[in-house]
């Protein structure tokens, strides 16, 4: 493919939750100058012209944007399939009905755990009951429902309960995704990375659940720190998806803002030029950029050298082989983290968690 089919629109990084695994940028103050409603509507039109069919509305918390209904309505007019990725805090009956009438196609709600006390502790705020109410509302209004649980050391042993909760709520799809170590997740990696024994129990629980009768799809992602080979970089750098950050920066993946590469913004260039010609999108496209051992590896067009953001965050060089790969000259970085995760004597402290910026309540006003 030479055209993107998916756009992740990160409407705002403001969020009512304070999860220690948050992958949003650490420097949230740099993203306060958010795109206006009219700018987002222009971005959607340019994305559709470029070939985008799927629009994922995320953040932060997209419900913090007061113009969310306008954005959904325009996407529906452009014949885009729209998916709201949300904590569900703020999804009142009235707001949900407005979004349904505007043409929203699908809702994905994050859950932190299967019981109130643990869930609220992980989220950093009382939220479990509101999430459950919102999930039931989604089904009442006829939407397909995906539940997404980010797993880590404190919650991975709760998989059986999370699966039971998802079935009780009538979820059509359950995503059990181990924490990816970017942003706050990387800062808190020593506290969050599960042990090998926990992973073994988790995989057994998922297998058992899949063998049970039922229509709910269960999708499980292990932490790549325990993999022999790295995960593909978004199916290939700038291959079939793109991300637009709240301030208009366009990224090949949601965490690429940390890379020391020339920026590309919809406030400065059309989306088509950014996709086709910008140095940012060209930098790691294809395989010609690869160093050894990736250059001669038979998997180079399978995992594309692994994650560029992870390579940079762990080695300081975005062009290095992802240290997750057992062939990487930097693999010891990951191996040491895994050994620490399996050492019961290892201290596990939690870094400070992100807070929404003080303008979060008013976001979207300037767009009108």
Helix, strand, or coil (residue 329): coil
- Ligand-binding site membership of 297 (annotated): no
Strand spans (E) along the chain: 6-12, 54-59, 81-86, 106-111, 145-151, 173-178, 217-221, 241-244, 250-251
CB count within 10 Å of CB 299 equals 15
CA distance 108 to 359: 25
What is the helix (H) or strand (E) element at residue 199, kind and residue range?
helix 196-211
With a CB cutoff of 8 Å and minimum separation 6, the contacts of 14 are 59, 60, 61, 64, 356, 357, 359, 360, 363
With a CB cutoff of 8 Å and minimum separation 6, the contacts of 149 are 110, 111, 112, 113, 155, 162, 174, 175, 176, 177
CA distance 213 to 320: 44
CA distance 40 to 51: 17
- Ligand-binding site membership of 22 (annotated): yes
Evaluate whether 158 touches 113 at the Cβ level (below 8 Å). yes
CA atoms within 13 A on the CB side of 98: 14
CA atoms within 13 A on the CB side of 60: 28
Evaluate whether 190 touches 337 at the Cβ level (below 8 Å). yes
- Ligand-binding site membership of 233 (annotated): no
Strand spans (E) along 91-144: 106-111
CA dihedral 40, 42, 47, 52 (to 10 degrees): 70
CA distance 80 to 53: 5
> Angle formed by the axes of helices 93-102 and 68-77, to 10°?
20
Give the residue numbers of the binding site for [4Fe-4S] cluster: 15, 19, 22
Give the residue numbers of the binding site: 15, 19, 22
């Amino acid at each position: 493919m030479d055209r993107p089919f998916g756009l992740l629109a990160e409407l705002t990084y403001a969020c009512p939750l304070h999860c220690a695994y948050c992958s949003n940028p650490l420097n949230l103050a740099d993203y306060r100058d958010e795109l206006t409603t009219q700018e987002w509507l222009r971005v959607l039109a340019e994305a559709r012209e470029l070939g985008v069919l799927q629009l994922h509305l995320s953040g932060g918390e997209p419900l913090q944007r007061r113009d969310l209904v306008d954005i959904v309505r325009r996407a529906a007019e452009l014949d885009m399939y729209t998916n709201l990725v949300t904590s569900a805090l703020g999804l009142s009956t009235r707001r949900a009905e407005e979004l349904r009438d505007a043409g929203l196609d699908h809702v994905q709600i994050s859950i932190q755990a299967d019981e109130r006390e643990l869930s609220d502790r992980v989220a950093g705020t009382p939220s479990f009951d509101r999430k459950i109410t919102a999930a039931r509302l989604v089904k009442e209004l006829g939407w397909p429902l995906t539940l997404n649980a980010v797993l880590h050391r404190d919650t991975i042993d709760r998989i059986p309960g999370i699966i039971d909760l998802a079935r009780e709520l009538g979820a059509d799809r359950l995503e059990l995704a181990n924490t990816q170590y970017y942003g706050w997740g990387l800062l808190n990696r020593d506290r969050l990375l599960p042990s090998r024994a926990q992973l073994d129990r988790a995989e057994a629980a998922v297998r058992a659940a899949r063998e049970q009768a039922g229509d709910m799809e269960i999708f499980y992602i292990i932490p790549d720190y325990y993999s022999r080979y790295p995960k593909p970089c978004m199916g290939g750098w700038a291959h079939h998806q793109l991300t637009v950050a709240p301030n208009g920066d366009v990224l090949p993946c949601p965490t690429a803002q940390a890379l020391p590469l020339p920026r590309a913004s919809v406030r400065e260039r059309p989306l088509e030029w950014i996709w086709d010609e910008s140095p940012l999108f060209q930098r790691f496209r294809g395989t010609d950029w690869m160093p050894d051992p990736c250059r001669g590896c038979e998997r180079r067009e399978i995992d594309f050298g692994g994650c560029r953001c992870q390579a940079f965050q762990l080695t300081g060089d975005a062009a290095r082989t992802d240290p997750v790969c057992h062939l990487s000259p930097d693999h010891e970085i990951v191996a040491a983290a895994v050994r620490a995760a399996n050492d019961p004597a290892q201290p596990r402290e939690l870094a400070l968690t992100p807070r929404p910026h003080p303008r979060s309540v008013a976001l979207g006003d300037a767009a009108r």
